[in-house]
Amino acid sequence: MNKQRTKLEVMRQWARTLKMDAHALWLAGRDPRTPWYAKALAVAVAAYALSPLDLIPDFIPVLGLLDDLLVVPLGIVVAVRLIPPEVMAEHRCVAASAGARPVSRIAATLIALTWVAAGFALLRVLWAR
């Protein structure tokens, strides 16, 4: 029982770290010291990680959780490696002190509109058949 609790606590800490890194990536993606290619990847990974919508819905067996377990962590690792260490360290401190997801109504609107547009495009393709 104690080993299960320890493993569960390790997993919770890992999830908190991923969430904090996603917030730090969001901040680093808006920092002028971050190279453009790292900005693009950082913002894309952070937006996907913090988005309430998934590319593959979680109710699809196995594949639904793959993006949460593989794609997001790998994207975070790659993006963090592209950002200068001092910039990432600074934004990790800010993200740790914030303790909450970044709130951007503009970003949320853009993400929602992107998903709606993709849905309409899919319906149009399916309707044309």
In a domain, 73, yes or no: yes
Distance (Å, whole) CA 48 – CA 68: 10
* Structural domains counted in the chain: 1
Tell me whether residue 123 is in a domain: no
Question: In the structure encoding, which two tokens stand for residue 114, read together?
Answer: 């992107």
pTM more than 0.85: no
In terms of residue numbers, what domain contains 36?
2-103
Query: Residue 91 domain-assigned?
Result: yes
Residue 86 lies in a domain: yes
Q: What is the DSSP string of 46-98?
A: HHHHH-SS-SS-TTSTTHHHHIIIIIHHHHHHHHHHHS-HHHHHHHHHHHHHH
Q: What is the pLDDT along the chain (129 residues), one digit of tens a residue?
A: 566 668 778 877 887 888 888 889 889 999 999 999 999 998 888 888 777 776 666 667 777 777 777 888 888 899 999 999 999 999 999 988 886 555 678 877 888 899 899 989 999 988 887
In a domain, 41, yes or no: yes
